[in-house]
């Protein structure tokens, strides 16, 4: 019906009360960069865009940020860096995703293997409920044990329980420059065994995976000089201080060599390291240039990573569709990208079946249907199989208690 761009919490309250009085659905929207359809507009509804709410305040003494939801992740990082601080969560979309959206989906990223995901940095929220009430939850305190942990209830709730209008975030000191290792493999399973060995013996600040499809897609777009023949590439970094980083990255390299890597590069040159990081960040758009995507972010316990990757390869072969796998390998969170031609109905149908089989495979391996993108509208069909009907019922009970008319982001998650 309309897009509303509020500038204050009070204006959000006005919109929500009007919508509630008139039975109008509301879809909160950050930057629209989500990958699960969580911010898709609904028929006859209002899109409440947070794009105009972009105020940032950094307190270097307490190492906290006070942020409105429309602030872009990279802009927060820049503001924090100006006073020697760092906001760690770094989804590949840092240049265009909003903090409000990151909180609403509990976004992760490349460095989360060491530093954790968005919820680990959220200290407080201001949330407008479905009846227009504005709640201040948590706040600028490092410890909080009063009552239920309601702040965390709204992190990852995808706009279904309330609209986030202000966020208090914990910051940390900036880490030292990173040392980087890049290893290429002919054997997919060897690359996954290397991930498990690295994770069990070191604390890498980044441990990423790209398969052959992703490597070649990135090369087609960017021409970084990646090895097009490699079946898998691992990119690891260490941000330990001084010589400790050198020792750790060399230990990571030794693991890869021992487990059969074809080529291993180790460098302390931050520009070279950033090139490989950029290659990984650009993988999804590069693969998307090959066709339409059905994009997953299934995660499994680390010992099952090899079974997931090789299982996805089998699904790809069985249904004759391309499935590229990129991953935040160090925490078992993968992004299977099912590529298909939307003008080929038969291929599109096979892609849908393959996507579902990837979800089912992750569940069988003890994994999750979403590690960081959220359920949104694209994964809700598998929520019951993953968490069980009792947990779905509890989710619905909480939703009904906070949004009895069902007007907040209807059709997302449930």
Same domain, 243 and 329: no
Looking at residue 381, what is its pLDDT?
Answer: 95
Same domain, 14 and 152: yes
Same domain, 302 and 253: no
Looking at residue 339, what is its pLDDT?
Answer: 98
| Distance from C-alpha of 255 to C-alpha of 252, rounded to nearest angstrom | 5
**Mean pLDDT split into 10-residue runs, the chain, 414 residues:** 98 98 98 94 97 98 98 98 97 94 96 96 98 97 92 97 98 96 97 97 97 97 96 98 96 98 97 96 95 96 96 97 97 97 97 97 97 94 96 98 98 96
| Distance from C-alpha of 101 to C-alpha of 217, rounded to nearest angstrom | 28
Same domain, 163 and 236: no
User: Which residue from 247, 273, 305 is spatially nearest to 182, judged by alpha carbons?
Assistant: 273
CATH number for the domain spanning 296: value is 3.30.70.2740
Answer for the pair 372, 109: CB distance below 8 angstroms, yes or no: yes
Same domain, 280 and 296: no
Single residue among 338, 355, 373 that ends a domain in this structure = 373
Answer for the pair 124, 139: CB distance below 8 angstroms, yes or no: yes
Give domain status of residue 363, yes or no: yes
Give domain status of residue 396, yes or no: no
Give domain status of residue 108, yes or no: yes
Looking at residue 174, what is its pLDDT?
Answer: 96
Single residue among 284, 305, 332 that ends a domain in this structure = 284
Same domain, 105 and 194: no
User: Which residue from 107, 148, 142 is spatially nearest to 124, judged by alpha carbons?
Assistant: 142
Same domain, 54 and 127: yes
CATH number for the domain spanning 32: value is 3.30.465.10
Same domain, 165 and 192: no
Give domain status of residue 390, yes or no: no
Domain count, the chain: 3
Structural domain harbouring 245: 179-284
pLDDT digits (tens, 9 = 90+) for 177-210: 999 999 999 999 999 999 999 999 999 999 999 9
Contacts of 305 (CB under 8 A, 6+ apart): 192, 195, 196, 327, 329, 332, 334
Looking at residue 405, what is its pLDDT?
Answer: 98
Same domain, 38 and 83: yes
Nearest 5 degrees, angle CA 221-CA 226-CA 232?
110
Same domain, 30 and 76: yes
Same domain, 304 and 207: no
Give domain status of residue 33, yes or no: yes
- How would you list the strands of the sheet with 292-295, edge to edge? 263-267, 179-185, 232-238, 206-211, 322-328, 333-340, 292-295
Give domain status of residue 400, yes or no: no
Looking at residue 74, what is its pLDDT?
Answer: 97
């Amino acid at each position: 019906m309309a897009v509303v761009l509020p500038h204050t919490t009070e204006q959000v309250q006005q919109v929500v009360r009007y919508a509630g009085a008139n039975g109008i659905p509301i879809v909160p929207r950050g930057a629209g960069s989500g990958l699960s359809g969580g911010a898709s507009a609904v028929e006859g509804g209002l899109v409440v865009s947070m794009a105009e709410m972009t105020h940032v305040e950094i307190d270097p003494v307490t190492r906290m940020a006070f942020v409105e939801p429309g602030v872009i992740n990279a802009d927060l990082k820049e503001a924090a860096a100006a006073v020697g601080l760092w906001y760690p969560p770094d989804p590949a979309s840092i240049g265009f995703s909003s903090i409000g959206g990151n909180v609403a989906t509990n976004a992760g990223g490349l460095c989360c293997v060491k530093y954790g995901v968005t919820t680990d940095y959220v200290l407080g929220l201001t949330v407008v409920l479905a009846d227009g009430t504005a709640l201040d939850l948590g706040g600028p305190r490092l410890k909080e044990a009063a009552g239920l942990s309601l702040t965390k209830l709204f992190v990852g709730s995808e706009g279904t329980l309330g609209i986030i209008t202000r966020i208090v975030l914990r910051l940390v000191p900036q880490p030292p420059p990173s040392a980087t290792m890049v290893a290429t493999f002919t054997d997919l399973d060897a690359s996954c065994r290397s991930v498990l060995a690295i994770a069990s013996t070191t604390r890498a600040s980044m441990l990423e995976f790209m398969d052959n499809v992703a490597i070649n897609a990135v090369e087609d777009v960017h021409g970084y000089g990646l090895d097009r023949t490699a079946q898998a590439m691992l990119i690891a970094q260490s941000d330990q201080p001084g010589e400790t980083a050198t020792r750790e990255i060399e230990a990571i390299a030794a693991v890869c060599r021992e487990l059969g890597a074809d080529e291993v590069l180790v460098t302390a040159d931050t520009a070279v390291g950033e090139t490989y990081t950029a290659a990984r960040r650009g993988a999804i758009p590069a693969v998307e240039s090959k066709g339409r995507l059905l994009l997953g972010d299934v995660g499994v316990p680390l010992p099952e990573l090899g079974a997931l990757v090789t299982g996805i390869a089998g699904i790809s072969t069985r249904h004759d569709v391309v499935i590229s796998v990129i991953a935040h390998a160090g925490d078992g969170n993968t992004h299977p990208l099912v590529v298909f031609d939307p003008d080929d109905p038969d291929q599109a149908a096979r892609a849908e079946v393959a996507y579902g089989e990837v979800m089912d495979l992750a569940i069988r391996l003890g994994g999750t249907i979403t590690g960081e993108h959220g359920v949104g509208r694209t994964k809700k069909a598998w929520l019951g199989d993953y968490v069980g009907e009792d947990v779905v019922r509890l989710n619905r009970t909480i939703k009904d208690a906070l949004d009895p008319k069902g007007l907040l982001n209807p059709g997302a998650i449930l």
